[in-house]
Chain A
Amino acid sequence: EDKVVQSPLSLVVHEGDTVTLNCSYEVTNFRSLLWYKQEKKAPTFLFMLTSSGIEKKSGRLSSILDKKELFSILNITATQTGDSAVYLCAVEIQGAQKLVFGQGTRLTINP
């Protein structure tokens, strides 16, 4: 059974801190890994990763994939209260046209 596991499930930090969110996966036929940010609405896309070792960066957010060890991390530096959200990791299954989601990490940034 295809499985995506995120850790931690919940994280509370102070504004300005740096956080690292983890996503590990066990799937039959990996195609890509995606990170989404979900506030009180539908998920919004952050990154898509297909190759190991290539960092994707967008402002204070960055992500990298390790296809050998089957995990990805999402880093957020200099966190702001607006970063508070649930961060979802999803793996795209080759040939199945679907995403398998992890449980999400609920990130809370306190001022």
Chain B
Amino acid sequence: DAMVIQNPRYQVTQFGKPVTLSCSQTLNHNVMYWYQQKSSQAPKLLFHYYDKDFNNEADTPDNFQSRRPNTSFCFLDIRSPGLGDAAMYLCATSRDGRRRAYFGPGTRLTVT
């Protein structure tokens, strides 16, 4: 049973061309996270939603935005992707920010 779903699994975009990654969940969790994971590095938190409240990490570039139209869906928008934005993007959810986070399978973004 899929719980956290990410689409697409692989995304290729051109330098500077906006791209949107999507995440949906069937867990009814109120917290949703976006992590960026570059090769051989730890996942780095970009931002998270606690219910409708958006929480941006201090070092997340302005190029990255997010939308959460309802409990189940969350989007990551990269306005002008650079070569350095190529990474795996992981969506995760949790109940009230406590307990463990459930991760989606990730979207691997390539920027050409």
Contact = CB atoms under 8 A, between A and B. Distances in A.
Interface of A: 4, 31, 34, 36, 41-45, 48, 88, 92, 96-104, 106
Interface stretch (B11-19, B61-69, B72-80, B93-101): B93-101
A97 B50 contact: yes
A31 B98 contact: yes
Given A31-B98, A97-B31, A97-B97, A41 B42 contact: no
Contacts of A92: 98
Nearest to A99: B101
B37 to A, nearest CB: 9
B43 A98 contact: no
Nearest to B55: A97
Interface residue range, chain B: 20 to 34
B105 to A, nearest CB: 5
Q: Is the interface of A mostly helix, strand, loop or mixed?
A: strand
B106 to A, nearest CB: 5
B55 A103 contact: no
Contact of B33 (A48, A98, A102, A106): A98
Q: Which 9 A-B pairs have the closest CB atoms?
A: A97-B97, A101-B42, A42-B103, A42-B106, A103-B42, A101-B43, A45-B100, A42-B105, A43-B103
